[in-house]
Structure 1
Amino acid sequence: MNKGYRDFKDYLDSFNSRKRKTLIRERRFISEQGITLKQIPGKDITEHELDVFFQFYQLTYLKRGNPPYLNLEFFKQIAETMPEQLLLILAMKDDTYVGAAFSLVGGDSFYGRYWGCYEEYHSLHFEACYYQGLEYCIANKLQRFDSGAQGEHKIARGFEPVTTWSAHWLTDPGFAAAIKDFTNREAGLMEEYRGNAAELLPFKNSE
């Protein structure tokens, strides 16, 4: 949640000293590697930049032996029909694109969604997917940054674990009853896990 931070430094000032030093060091790694990043609002994304992003997006799946489930035409269509809700972050080194993150904006929320890179650079994933998005949220007074499911590494960077919901319709009564029984029993365990995860938050009042 955005607690009225003035800038990224103000955000870091809310961290305990050890965690704050970690984030400062990770951001420094980016400049030391000669990497620069730029934030491109949807209305300014060129066809070439979208093609570059899609290459990175494909690689994320191909590295794991899976085909991407979205195609280039999908990204072109949303760039054309809802540009005000898109943000593309491109990372460059020596005039060459080395990574990209694709996010969406809706209401008072920011949704980090797709990421890819040609090769691994120290802390580039954190910078492109989290720190750039946090800066954007603060600058644009967005209240919530949804960085997606899973990943305890996000908690150490200030992303609070929250409970989310989904709806499912199961036509088989027996199957529906079995799943309902399981989710009812699972709910308590998940709440316990959320509480334990929240204790790992880096903020001063969570020390």
Structure 2
Amino acid sequence: GPRLMVHPDVEADGARVEVVGALVGGALVVAERERASGIHWLFCTEREAGELAGRGLLRRLTHQYHWDNAGYASFDDFTAAMTSKRRKEVRRERARAQSHGLDIRLLRGDELSREDWDALYGFYRNTIAERGAIPYLKRGFYREIARRVPERVRAVIAYEGDRPVAGTLNFMKGDRLFGRYWGAVDAWDALHFECCYYRLIDYAIAEGVTRFEAGAQGQHKIARGFLPSATHSAHFLAHPGLRDAVARHLDYEADAIRAEMAMLADHGPFKSASDADLPDRSG
């Protein structure tokens, strides 16, 4: 979404160029005063990326994987748009996830118990430890979102009896759903796909969610209904040598990203226009 706060009246008056220039100029003054190494506008709009690039910032093109609601009436309606092979695979994965005897629930933040919140934090720490990463979120963060924005939280938790054993923390904003943190205390075949993707797609269809953004990584999402979507950012780097090196890299990277997105789109899970007219014999 927009990262430059420009009032609609300014747009109407045609003064956006001056206002954007003032915003960027002010940010650069603050960066110099604070001796900041850089300023980063992340996930801005394509228009903003162009405006910022026009003021000397480095523009970056990347992509994430998004599921878009094409007006599906049900999960079966969604999978009906897939090729027969992918539809069968999705059904098999959901069946495997259900075969473990776990009770999988989708819950709003105000429906979560203290034990549920503690479990979600524990799942996050497990995933971080497995990847050797730094746990930048602390337990207090989970307590704060439980207190401040429980209405935005959508958690999918798998229970073994009364014990939470796996789950994912997600957020709603407007008509969009954002997938974030997954973790588990053990490994169960296909449970990750059910908790991170399929159960949330079920929810999105039922609630009229227009887009489910599942994050940046994982080409495995393609086969499960998520397609690459361009994302944009702009960057100021104070060190001239670093700035020049990054600028050269971003030019090469943008070409590679465009080629990759085109390739991934051609190998998506959905029927082509010609396939859509063929009879469905998959059962």
TM-score for both structures, normalised by structure 1: 0.94
Tell me which residue corresponds to 2:94: 27
Higher relative contact order (CA 8 A, sep 6+): 2
- The separation in 1 between residues aligned to 2:133 and 2:217, in whole angstroms, is 20
Shift in Å, 1:163: 1.2
Shift in Å, 1:125: 0.3
- The separation in 1 between residues aligned to 2:112 and 2:159, in whole angstroms, is 16
Q: CA RMSD in A?
A: 1.5
Instruction: Choose from 122, 125, 128 the match for 1:61.
Output: 128
Shift in Å, 1:95: 3.6
Tell me which residue corresponds to 2:188: 121
Provide the secondary structure at the position in 2 that maps to 1:165. Answer: strand
Higher strand share: 2
TM-score for both structures, normalised by structure 2: 0.70
**What per-residue deviation string (whole Å, max 9, x for no partner) do you get for residues 50-76 of structure 1?**
011111111111123344210110011
Contact 2:116 2:164 in 1 (8 A): no
- 1:126 is matched by which residue type in structure 2? F
- The number of equivalent residue pairs is 207
User: Which segments of 5 or more consecutive residues in structure 1 lack a partner in the other structure?
Assistant: none
- 2:227 is matched by which residue type in structure 1? E
Provide the secondary structure at the position in 2 that maps to 1:162. Answer: strand
Contact 2:182 2:196 in 1 (8 A): yes
Provide the secondary structure at the position in 1 that maps to 2:170. Answer: strand
Tell me which residue corresponds to 1:141: 208
Tell me which residue corresponds to 1:158: 225
Instruction: Choose from 229, 243, 261 the match for 1:194.
Output: 261
Contact 1:34 1:94 in 2 (8 A): no
Provide the secondary structure at the position in 2 that maps to 1:168. Answer: strand
Contact 2:227 2:265 in 1 (8 A): yes
**What per-residue deviation string (whole Å, max 9, x for no partner) do you get for residues 155-204 of structure 1?**
00010011111232211233222212221222111100111111221111
Q: Which has the larger radius of gyration?
A: 2
Contact 1:105 1:111 in 2 (8 A): yes
- 2:127 is matched by which residue type in structure 1? T
Identity across the alignment (%)? 36
User: Which segments of 5 or more consecutive residues in structure 2 lack a partner in the other structure?
Assistant: 1-67, 276-283
Over 3 Å counting, the alpha-carbon distance change for 1:60 and 1:16 in structure 2 is: same
